[in-house]
């Protein structure tokens, strides 16, 4: 499926210039249709739907696993990126006297779980950026044989910086450390192959670049790490329950990531998410990445030419879809743009940036509309 065909599936693009997929992607017509169908079944055929609950979970796991180069049984559906990041930390063995390495842009849910017992006594090391980049040599310097894990974002939300995961994984492996990755701003925008990149745990919400719903997210864990220690939580669907057995007989977790499914799935969220994963699959991850990088590159370049300070690196391998540009008053620009039917984001007050997030359904004309409106704003 070509980008223009993908665009035709998003009704919002007939009304607005939507450039905020790093917050929440808009709904596509296949997703609207799937939710309508689910609502119909919920209304008139709920008993039948109830019998097929797990089909939705399995479909989503399969599609997502394929997208990231994982096996289906290494993927669990969770409810947020943060939930997946917490699970990854819980599955990380505690080594006394160890440390964990972050970078200064690691997302809070990649950091806070390490501040809870029993891991709160680990030394926390933060690698700072230099010239807008988290340098690999600085990560290498922070990591030693006592490092349990490196916990970072693939693409950072405030800067749009993309880390070289294969290189970080090499550093981690040299010291027996695990690599925990927040993929909320990368999965669905740039190509990911967890095996090739050497990622141990990956967590990503569905509602951003994966074109799905809030309340649905995906956890990936390498198979040997999933099964190495008992799961931190247990529920009915997470257990192997041979016919005739009773819970009193004991808890045997299911093999693979199915052990992390604790109860009833988020059916509405999954119904809205599966079509998004199908669209990305049909577009193909290399085409999606090429398109997203072309647009984020075009946007960054045009802003630089206008004299703005763009935090997002110009090199394509160092960015994804997020473009962050420093503005005097980002919320004011965001408000102006919203009135002009252009959706961008100003939430990162700590670095005074406006964010422009082009996805596969955007085109260079959308960037041109944003730039023309920006020129208008500056001329006021
Ligand atoms: C890098 C990153 N991680 C995590 C999140 C939050 O995701 P969730 O609300 O699914 O935990 C965001 C949201 O913007 C994000 O940008």
Domains and CATH numbers, the chain: 3-19+284-379 (3.90.1150.10), 32-281 (3.40.640.10)
Pocket residues: Cβ below 6 A from ligand 1: 80-82, 107, 109, 153, 157, 182, 184-185, 205, 217
pTM of the model: 0.97
> What is the per-residue burial (b if ≥16 Cβ within 10 Å, else e) of 159-178?
bbbbbebeebbebbeeeebb
Task: Give the per-residue pLDDT at 347.
Answer: 82
Residue pLDDT tens, the chain, 380 long = 999 999 999 999 999 999 999 999 999 999 999 999 999 999 999 999 998 889 999 999 999 999 999 999 999 999 999 999 999 999 998 766 699 999 999 999 999 999 999 999 999 999 999 999 999 999 999 999 999 999 999 999 999 999 999 999 999 999 999 999 999 999 999 999 999 999 999 999 999 999 999 999 999 999 999 999 899 999 999 999 999 999 999 999 999 999 999 999 999 999 999 999 999 999 999 999 999 999 999 999 999 999 999 999 999 999 999 999 999 999 999 999 999 999 999 987 777 999 999 999 999 999 999 999 999 999 99
Residue 204's alpha-carbon distances to 87, 155, 185, 355, in angstroms, are 12, 11, 8, 19
> Which residue from 79, 107, 209 has its CB within 8 A of the most atoms of ligand 1, so it is best to mutate?
107
The dihedral built from the CA positions of residue 303, 304, 308 and 310, taken in this order, carries a sign that is: positive
Beta strands in the chain (DSSP E): 17-18, 75-78, 99-103, 123-127, 147-153, 178-182, 201-205, 217-221, 323-326, 342-343, 353-356
CA of 142 to the centre of ligand 1 (A): 25
Which residue, by CA, sits nearest to atom 7 of ligand 1? 81
CA of 375 to the centre of ligand 1 (A): 31
Task: Give the per-residue pLDDT at 94.
Answer: 72
Pairing relation of β-strands 342-343 and 178-182?
A: unpaired
Which residue, by CA, sits nearest to atom 3 of ligand 1? 184
Task: Give the per-residue pLDDT at 166.
Answer: 98
Count of beta carbons in the 10 Å neighbourhood of residue 35: 18
CA of 205 to the centre of ligand 1 (A): 7
162 - beta bridge partners? 155
Ligand 1, residue 205: give the atom nearest the CA: 10
> Which residue from 104, 185, 192, 349 has its CB within 8 A of the most atoms of ligand 1, so it is best to mutate?
185
Task: Give the per-residue pLDDT at 96.
Answer: 62
Task: Give the per-residue pLDDT at 244.
Answer: 94
Ligand 1, residue 79: give the atom nearest the CA: 10
Task: Give the per-residue pLDDT at 351.
Answer: 74
Residues in the chain: 380
Which residue, by CA, sits nearest to atom 2 of ligand 1? 184
CA of 162 to the centre of ligand 1 (A): 15
Task: Give the per-residue pLDDT at 350.
Answer: 76
Residues 6+ apart with CB under 8 A from 196: 69, 166
């Amino acid at each position: 499926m070509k980008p223009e065909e993908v665009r035709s599936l998003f009704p919002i693009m007939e009304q607005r210039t939507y450039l905020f997929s790093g917050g929440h992607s808009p709904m596509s017509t296949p997703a609207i249709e799937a939710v309508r169908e689910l609502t119909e079944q919920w209304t008139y055929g709920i008993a039948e739907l109830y019998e097929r609950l797990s089909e939705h979970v399995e479909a989503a796991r399969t599609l997502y696993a394929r997208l990231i180069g994982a096996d289906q049984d290494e993927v669990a559906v969770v409810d947020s990126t943060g939930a997946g990041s917490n699970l990854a930390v819980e599955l990380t063995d505690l080594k006394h006297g160890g440390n964990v390495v972050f970078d200064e842009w690691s997302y809070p849910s990649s950091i806070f779980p390490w501040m809870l017992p029993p891991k709160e006594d680990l030394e926390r090391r933060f690698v700072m950026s230099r010239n807008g980049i988290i340098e690999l040599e600085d990560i290498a310097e922070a990591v030693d044989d006592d490092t349990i894990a490196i916990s970072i974002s693939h693409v950072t939300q405030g800067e749009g910086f993309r880390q070289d995961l294969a290189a970080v994984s090499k550093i981690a492996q040299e010291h027996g450390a695990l690599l925990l990755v927040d993929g909320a701003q990368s999965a669905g925008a740039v190509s990911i192959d967890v095996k090739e990149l050497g990622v141990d745990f990956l967590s990503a919400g569905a509602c951003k670049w994966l074109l799905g719903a809030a309340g649905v997210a995906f956890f990936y864990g390498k198979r040997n790490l999933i099964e190495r220690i008992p799961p931190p939580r247990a529920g009915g669907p997470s257990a192997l329950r041979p016919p005739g057995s009773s819970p009193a007989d004991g808890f045997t977790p299911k093999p693979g990531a199915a052990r992390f499914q604790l109860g009833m799935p988020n059916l509405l969220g999954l119904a809205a998410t599966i079509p998004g994963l199908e669209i990305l699959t049909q577009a193909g991850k290399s085409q999606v990445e090429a398109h997203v990088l072309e647009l984020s590159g075009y946007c960054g370049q045009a802003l630089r030419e206008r004299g703005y300070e763009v935090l997002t690196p110009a090199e394509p391998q160092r960015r994804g879809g997020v473009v962050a540009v420093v503005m005097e008053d980002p919320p004011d620009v965001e408000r102006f743009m919203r009135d002009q039917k252009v959706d961008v984001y100003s939430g990162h007050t700590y670095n005074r940036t406006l964010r422009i997030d082009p996805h596969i359904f955007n085109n260079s004309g959308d960037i041109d509309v944003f730039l023309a409106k920006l020129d208008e704003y500056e001329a006021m």
